[in-house]
Amino acid sequence: MGFRTVARPLPGGRGERLEWYVPFVQNSTVVGSLFTLVHVPFMLAFLSVTVIGAMAAGTPDATVLALSLAVVGLLLYAEHMLDDTTAVGKPWNTVLGDRSLFALAGGLYVLAAAIGAWASIRYSSVVPGVGVGAGIVFTALYGLEVWKFHAVEFGAVGMGAIPAFSYLAQSAAAGESGGWLVAVALFVFGTLYCLVMLSLYEHTKTGDHATMWRLLGYHFLMIYALATAAIALGGLP
């Protein structure tokens, strides 16, 4: 029996979803819709590179890591909500209306901005504030699909910035200026990793199994490469 990916219409007949993603789409209630918009597989992928970036600084500060994870989670959740508005076709077809989605996303952005501002004051560094500000702009553009900002390449660049800023935040908390070589390396690896991951997701819609398996192999290689680079570069000054 061969592997088969089936695209099915979302409830209401709008958009498509893949067979493997069905358990993560529960739109019959408000709570279910809020769960759908977490986009669990993608949320975990983005949170994982946040941890990898923190590891590159050596022994990560638990408070800074927790705040970094919270900010990334808030920004991604807000982006997912904007992505389900009717302005971009409401691809996930949740029961939440545009007004609710915009209000929830706005609240999440405010909370993320507050965390960034507090961290900048607490650690006397502009890094947290700049990182959160850039994240808000990026996720808003990506979620609302402004111009060509919902492209795979743009998403990859945004994800690449996450481990880099996570590392710089750890350095700021330790009172260090941060090794920019490490940050650049994390950005490059993070970008390539996300490029492969998002390309793999897009190809699961096509049924092109040869390309899918090739991308899956690259995906695993990038995970190992990113983790290895983070650990190895963590020992550099």
Q: How confident is the model at residue 136 (pLDDT cuts 50, 70, 90)?
A: very high
Check residue 59 and give its pLDDT. 86
Q: Categorize the per-residue pLDDT at 18 as very low, low, confident or very high, splitting at 50, 70 and 90.
A: low
Which is more confident, 48 or 177? 48
Does pLDDT of 113 surpass 90? yes
- Residues forming a β-bridge with 197: none
Q: Which percentage of the chain shows pLDDT scores above 90?
A: 52
Ranges of each domain in the chain: 19-233
Question: Averaging pLDDT over each range in 102-116, 179-193, 210-224, which range is the top one?
Answer: 102-116
How many Cβ atoms from other residues are within 10 Å of residue 113's Cβ?
18
What's the pLDDT at 57?
85
pLDDT band at 162 (very low <50, low <70, confident <90, very high): very high
Within 13 Å, how many C-alpha atoms sit on residue 234's CB side? 21
pLDDT at 12 over 60: no
pLDDT digits 0-9 by tens, 42-59: 899 899 889 989 988 888
For residue range 1-11, list pLDDT tens digits in order.
Answer: 332 333 334 44
Q: What is the pLDDT of residue 7?
A: 37
Look at residue 14 and tell me whether its pLDDT is greater than 50: no
Q: What's the pTM?
A: 0.86
**Taking all residues of the chain, what is their mean pLDDT, rounded to a whole number?**
85
Lowest average pLDDT, out of 17-31, 34-48, 123-137, goes to 17-31
The yes-or-no verdict on residue 117 having pLDDT over 80 is yes
197 pLDDT above the threshold of 70 = yes
pLDDT at 4: 32
Domain 19-233 CATH (choose: 1.10.1750, 3.40.50, 1.10.600, 2.40.420): 1.10.600
pLDDT digits (tens, 9 = 90+) for 54-97: 988 888 999 999 999 999 999 999 999 999 999 888 888 899 99
